[in-house]
Structure 1
Amino acid sequence: MLNSDHAADVQLFGAHPIFRARDRDTLSARLMEGYRATIRRTDDAEVPLLAIANRLQVGGVHLHYCRYDAPVQIAFPAMAGYRQLVCLSGHGEIVSSRRRMAIDGDHAGTLPPETPFEASYSQGYQHMVLQFDEESLRRKAEALAGQALPRDLRLSIMQPLPRAGRSRTRHIARALGQIFASEGAHLDTWAIEMSHALTSAFLIETLDGDLLQTSAKESGRTSVSLLEDYIQANWRRPIGAEDIAEACGVSVRSVFARFKRHRGVSPLTYLREVRLGHANRMLLEAEAGASVIDIALACGFASLGHFAQRYRERFGELPSATLARGDRRPRN
């Protein structure tokens, strides 16, 4: 049985299935088709074999969700990109190049690109695999560090990463999984920005600390104004760390710290407030037939609940109330 804590995880990325299998032969065929992987062993014939795999790509990140109700051992071939395995229930072990790494609720682990491995999963095992494109990861790392980095990014590879050290990655990935748990969710501005945040969180949690501790030169007030202007001009589109670094000409870490010091909020909070302001105007000026969800999506909010909560905090009423009292005169 799966832990009740993780029952909801069954539907992570459910709108983007790769396979469902209820017997060994089907699982073997689906693993080969989807991942070029082969089954080494299945255990405990008394446990019904149910295996599920879902996969979603957002920007330079592939997000996988897998569930195995019965114990299984699988050999995976070399794959592109860095992969972090985040266990949701049960426990597992990864073996690669004679190195072993435990994966459980308290420890995640990262595999380097082009690395074949064997995985052993327990009964009731579930995990997410976060697969990061190498070039996208490098660009993000250099934007965070504010400098060119060596080819070897010195990530923590094949070393269990404690749960406390990966809370950001886990929370963002689960949030994306829940957004795309059912049909109807869109790969919009908000989802793409969440993928940027996921990549940044992964780097902060796994990149060699010395690379990020390099102190960038103090950015002046001009960089804060540049970033404000950039956000005001580009609030409709996804804004990632690379965009911020390019717009301001300094490292992301430096401009984020300076922005917080001068404006009292982070750039992402400022971006959200700008979008809420535009949403308020659009709700007040909406034509007959306009809906709250259309306006929320147009302003970069994928979750209507999140949008309504933030809107109410800012304006003291729900967006539906603003829409109801807005100007309904026909437009010429």
Structure 2
Amino acid sequence: MTEPGVGPNAPGNMRTLVLSNDLDETREIISTAYSPYRLSVLGDPKEFSAWYAEGGFPGVTVSGLQYGAETLVAPQPLDSYLLVCQLVRGRVKVMSPGREERVVGPGETYVLDPYRSFQVHWAPGARMTTVRLSRETIEQAAADLLGVEGPLRARFSLSGATSPSAARSWAGISAAVHREVLGEGVARSSPLVASQLTRTTAAMLMETHRLITDGVDAQRPGAVAHPAVRRAMAAAEERADQPLTLADLAAAGRVSPRALQEAFRRHLGTTPLGYLREVRLGRVHQELLASRGRADVTVAQVAYRWGFGNLGRFAGEYRRVYGHAPSRTLRG
């Protein structure tokens, strides 16, 4: 093993802490750098090699890690920090026992939150970089995103960036962090810049990767969970004939408008007002069915009564859901 700081693969201001073919030595050093973990070689032990380097500024640590043989890593929960992992080359299979698993390839990311155990199956020669953020930073960013008081447990899906545009956005902030760490960036000498970049990185992570709030601290005051969504859904269903606004639905859910929007997106894949439109569309459908054969009822009358002012848009939405024009429902 080489001494820290002289590893040939450590770019810029990253310090090489491991460059070794010794399994026990690697396990001991990386367990100290991350969290205690099991490290098993699944292939030929003679092919085992490991490289680990890290660097950073207050708030963010960037690291690089590579195993030369087929390897299984099973750390304990990270507890005090979160890791955003990005494959540089090769493939890994990341697993949360009993919950999720995913094969990750070059350029793809996954998030290891502080609260659960996981395993990572490394293909020979796979290499990744990680961005490490403190648990305190992440939990405050989650609370800010959901509009609630105080820190909030921030559990993440292993599914990676939520869309190609989200992946590009994360790549942008990650590249900025790497430039600050690997070069002579201002964040290394300015606590103010370091703090701002750290908060921006955490906020970008919230916006680009899937945050899971289901069942986590659901009883904490202000935390958004299914009950808030159910209360707003009930209000939409009971008062669909009234001119409800987002603020009205948020008041019924007992959360802020922003928090309700985020909860609906995560739990239902829609928005509060989108859900209200779906309820109203269903009411129109029911009324058209009940009015079949009545010459005094028109589609326009029913649509207007349930808040659809743009008849062209209404007809398109109706056809998308029911497969035919609303006039066909009324005529039978």
* Match of residue 24 from structure 1: 23
Which residue of 2 is the match for residue 51 of structure 1? 50
Counterpart Cα distance in 2 of 1:106 and 1:156: 19
Moved more, 32-41 or 185-194: 185-194
Work out whether 1:170 is the aligned partner of 2:171. Answer: yes
Give the 5 Å matches for 1:150-161: 151-153=152-154, 155-161=155-161
Partner residue, 1:34: 33
After superposition, residues 157-306 of structure 1 pair within 5 angstroms as 157-161=157-161, 164=164, 165-181=166-182, 187-189=188-190, 190-206=193-209
Give the letter aligned to residue 136 of structure 1: T
| Alignment partner, residue 87 of structure 1 | 87
1:40 corresponds to which letter in structure 2? S
CA distance in 2, matches of 1:161, 1:110: 9
Q: Percent identity?
A: 14
Q: What is the DSSP-based 3-state SS (H/G/I as helix, E as strand, rest coil) of the residue aligned with 1:132? A: strand
**Structure 1 counterpart of 2:17, one-letter code:** I
Aligned counterparts of 1:102 and 1:146: Cα–Cα separation in 2: 33
SS at structure 2 position matched to 1:180:
helix
User: Normalising by structure 2, what TM-score?
Assistant: 0.50
The residue aligned with 1:15 is 14
Number of the residue aligned with 1:61: 60
Once the two structures are superposed, what CA deviation does each residue of 1:270-318 show, in whole Å capped at 9, x if it has no partner? xxxxxxxxxxxxxxxxxxxxxxxxxxxxxxxxxxxxxxxxxxxxxxxxx
Identify unmatched segments of 5+ residues in structure 2: 1-7, 214-223, 225-244, 248-257, 259-332
Name the CA distance, whole Å, in 2 between partners of 1:114 and 1:13. 32
- After superposition, the Cα gap between the structure-2 partners of 1:37 and 1:150, relative to the gap in structure 1 and judged at 3 Å, is closer
Of stretches 72-81 and 188-197 in structure 1, the one that deviates more from structure 2 is 188-197
1:10 Cα deviation (Å)? 4.4
Whole-angstrom CA distance in 1 between matches of 2:212 and 2:94: 25
| Corresponding pairs, count | 205
Where do 5+ consecutive residues of structure 1 fail to align? 1-8, 217-250, 252-332
Contact 2:157 2:210 in 1 (8 A): no
Q: Answer whether contact 1:101 1:158 (CA < 8 A) is retained.
A: yes
Counterparts of 2:200 and 2:19 in 1: how far apart (Å)?
30
Partner amino acid, structure 2, of 1:68: Y
CA shift, 1:93, in A, is 0.8
Superposed displacement of residue 74, structure 1: 1.6
Correspondence 1:114 to 2:115: yes
Q: Which secondary structure state, in structure 2, belongs to the residue aligned with residue 157 of structure 1?
A: strand
SS in 2 for 1:116: coil
1:187-234 deviations in Å (ceiling 9; x for gaps) = 2234443323211211111255998xx989xxxxxxxxxxxxxxxxxx
Contact 1:94 1:117 in 2 (8 A): yes
The TM-score, its normalising length taken from structure 1, stands at 0.50
The 3-state SS of whatever aligns with 2:159 is coil
Which stretch shows the higher mean deviation, 12-21 or 95-104? Answer: 12-21
- The CA deviation at 1:75 is 1.7
Distance apart, 1:128 and its partner CA: 2.0
| Whole-Å separation in 2 of the counterparts to 1:82 and 1:105 | 21
Matched, 1:129 2:124: no
Structure with bigger RCO (C-alpha 8 Å, 6+ apart):
1
- Alignment partners' CA distance in 2, 1:73 and 1:94: 10
* C-alpha distance after superposition, 1:37-63 (max 9, x if no partner): 22222425675x432212335444343
Match of 1:221 in 2: none
Residue by residue over 1:218-268, the C-alpha shift from the partner in whole angstroms, topping out at 9 and shown as x without a partner, is xxxxxxxxxxxxxxxxxxxxxxxxxxxxxxxxx9xxxxxxxxxxxxxxxxx
Q: Rg: which structure is higher?
A: 2
Q: Alignment partner of 1:135: what SS?
A: helix
Please identify, of 87-96 and 201-210, the stretch whose mean Cα deviation from structure 2 is larger. Answer: 201-210
C-alpha contact 1:42 1:72 (8 A) present in aligned 2: yes
Q: 2:85 is aligned with what amino acid?
A: L
Question: Letter of the aligned partner of 1:43 in structure 2?
Answer: G
Quote the Cα distance in structure 2 between the aligned partners of 1:145 and 1:110. 19
Aligned CA RMSD, in angstroms, stands at 3.7
Q: Give, in whole Å, the separation in 1 of the partners of 2:73 and 2:139.
A: 30
